[in-house]
Chains A and B, each alone.
Chain A
Amino acid sequence: MARYVTVQVTRKEPPTGAAPAEHCKKCQLPLSKEGLEQSWQVCPHCGYHYPLRAALRLALLADSGSVTFIGEELRPTDPLEFFDLRPYTERLAEAQLETGLTEALVAARCSIAGRPVALGVMDFGFMGGSMGSVVGERFHRLARLAVEEAMPLVVVASSGGARMQEGLLSLMQMAKTVAAAEIVSEAGLPYIAILTHPTTGGVFASFATVADLILAEPGAVMQFAGTRVIEQTTREKLPPDFGSSEKQLVHGQIDLVVDRRELKARLTQCLDLLVGGRVADAGGGEAGG
């Protein structure tokens, strides 16, 4: 039998987002852990974007003290009794222990520059940010909440794709999240997707690309098929920056490449321009859209 293709995301750095020891891996200039933390894991010298954990991403975007978690009580289960070299349940327990999260998507009601927003943030450290039933259901609840409270929906994606261990149930989360995003759209509310490194496979081909606006961080890689699959199928060597935000912008697939340090301001500007000025008393988070 032929050795077959694989779908693999090239992980450029440890999934947990551990900062490099002393030097930036991109520009080689000295880099302190504290310096990185102050700049949201962006190299202050060259602007290289290191992975940002979900908790920090929330801190970056949401107004201080405004976060309420949504669907946090939802927990993954093992519907297929999936067992490869290790049981799925063991992989889940390990991911939960390592990340301190219950799943790969954190959903929250919060305010961003005073405006109430339904915010979803994925964490690549949780099983490669893969989308299973809980990610789908949290996205769904977030979309419902956005409609109920007439808020914009903002989702930060970072994912290797659908979660294999939940089989076709995971594939169906693509249809589920797209249907959920459509509810927000029908209500005339904005949905903005922010794609971070990496956003691939089933997430890239579902809720990440049906947003009204698609923003991406510099250097983030977005691909539907994995590099190895493409190279094996087409026998073509891909350029090193293939699928990067900058290239996706050139090919017309995304709206903006936004530096993380300006992300909140730019996101706020997008919302302002789509649905009008923000709530007068910033930080209050009282009025709806």
Chain B
Amino acid sequence: MAEQSPPSGLRKSYQTEAIRLLKRLQELRRLPALTGTNYSEEIKRIQERLESLRNRSDSAVAWEAVQLARHQDRPQTLDYIAHMIPDFLELHGDRLHGDDGAVVAGLGTLNGRRIALIGHQKGHSLKERQERSFGMARPEGYRKAMRVARLAEKFGLPVVTLVDTPGAYPGRDAEEGGQAGAIANSIRVFSVLRVPTVAVVIGEGGSGGALALAVADRVFMLENAVYSVISPEGCAALLWRDAAEAPRAAEALRLTAADLYELGLIDQIIPEPAGGAHNDHRATAKRVMRQVHLALAELERLGVEERLRLRREKYLRMGRYTIASPK
């Protein structure tokens, strides 16, 4: 790529395209102006596309966020609980099959308000990470989440979820135990839960395994959290046929909090302490729980039916498409 230098300040994933477009532009400009041939339309289109490419932010941002979001010392669900919910009572089991350590769920008091809190727990030490499957939940994890969410609904407690997972656990037992159905049903339960709900992506929002705990009235993201339909590595392996292209895939997927806020898919970005959340667990937890508190206070002012209507409409509106005009 050395011989052709792309416009500066461009994300790497767009460099290849920019180079291709510049070459084409040169070709078009060199072509003799034949009668009846008009290239101005294509030239204009290419120039517009180049302009939009130049507006992209710095190439390293997305990949840095991925690294920070996965940082081993980043605060996890149990750290938030330790700092903000002194009376937390952890509940266990899905009443069907088992108790999944990748999902922590329980009851407690946040700023004087009784809540249910459910979150992924990746684990810090190697031992804990293994015990908790690196935060990758099995069906019993999602079923525990649903059970506790329903319990909260019965007693009128708002539900707060903390999302931090590479994805749902990819294993034979999980698949045979109904992983897909568990995720789908978790999405369904959270979409109709009658109590106020707030979800915060605190680290890695990995695909369906994250979404299963991330359907809520308000969805927040920490500044360096990421949230994506597929891991950058998985995307790179499929589309670039090379997992090493993950940084490019990370940019292309628009998975940072800033990108997703711009796309209107999350409601708010919560700033992290200098250098990242791992530098100060207490400060991070305070900031997150402060925003959760404010959001719950606002949501509680709405009637149940109104809140459910707004939540449903929000999800039914999601998507970008065009309408073809009749020929």
Contacts from A to B (Cβ < 8 Å) = 1, 3-8, 73-77, 79-85, 87, 102, 132-134, 136-137, 140, 162-164, 166-176, 178-182, 201-202, 204-210, 222-226, 229-230, 233-234, 236, 238, 242-243, 247, 251-253
Are B170 and A206 closer than 8 Å at their CB atoms? no
Q: Could you list 22 examples of A-B contacts with CB < 8 Å?
A: A4-B234, A5-B233, A5-B234, A6-B233, A7-B234, A74-B324, A83-B14, A132-B319, A168-B228, A169-B318, A172-B315, A173-B318, A174-B184, A175-B318, A176-B316, A205-B179, A205-B180, A225-B167, A225-B168, A226-B170, A230-B170, A251-B177
Tally B residues with Cβ within 8 Å of A.
Answer: 67
Digit string of B149-173 for contact with A (CB within 8 Å is 1, else 0)? 0000000000000000001111110
Alpha-carbon separation in the docked complex, A81 to B180 (Å): 30
- 5 shortest interchain CB distances as A-B pairs: A4-B233, A133-B319, A225-B170, A6-B237, A84-B239
Are B319 and A242 closer than 8 Å at their CB atoms? no
Are B184 and A207 closer than 8 Å at their CB atoms? yes
What is the chain B residue whose CB lies nearest that of A211?
B184
Q: Which residues of A contact B13 (CB under 8 A)?
A: 83-84
B215 close to A (CB within 8 Å): yes
Are B211 and A204 closer than 8 Å at their CB atoms? no
B295 close to A (CB within 8 Å): no
Alpha-carbon separation in the docked complex, A210 to B183 (Å): 10
State which of B81-89, B107-115, B116-124, B240-248 sits at the interface with chain A.
Answer: B240-248
Alpha-carbon separation in the docked complex, A210 to B190 (Å): 13
Alpha-carbon separation in the docked complex, A79 to B253 (Å): 11
Are A175 and B184 closer than 8 Å at their CB atoms? no
B71 close to A (CB within 8 Å): no
Given contacts A168-B229, A175-B187, A175-B211, contact A238 B172 (CB under 8 A): yes
Smallest beta-carbon distance A176→chain B, Å: 5
Alpha-carbon separation in the docked complex, A133 to B322 (Å): 10
Q: Which residues of B contact A6 (CB under 8 A)?
A: 233-234, 237-238, 243
Are A169 and B263 closer than 8 Å at their CB atoms? yes
Are B229 and A167 closer than 8 Å at their CB atoms? yes
Which one of B184, B263, B316, B324 lies within 8 Å of A209 (CB-CB)?
Answer: B184
Q: Which residues of B contact A134 (CB under 8 A)?
A: 319, 321
Are A210 and B321 closer than 8 Å at their CB atoms? no
Smallest beta-carbon distance B174→chain A, Å: 8
Among B17, B188, B227, B244, chain A packs the most CB atoms within 10 A around the CB of: B188
Are A230 and B171 closer than 8 Å at their CB atoms? yes
Q: Which of B211-266 contact A (CB under 8 A)?
A: 211-212, 215, 227-231, 233-235, 237-241, 243-244, 246, 248-249, 252-255, 260, 263, 265
Given contacts A133-B320, A164-B239, A208-B184, contact A251 B176 (CB under 8 A): yes
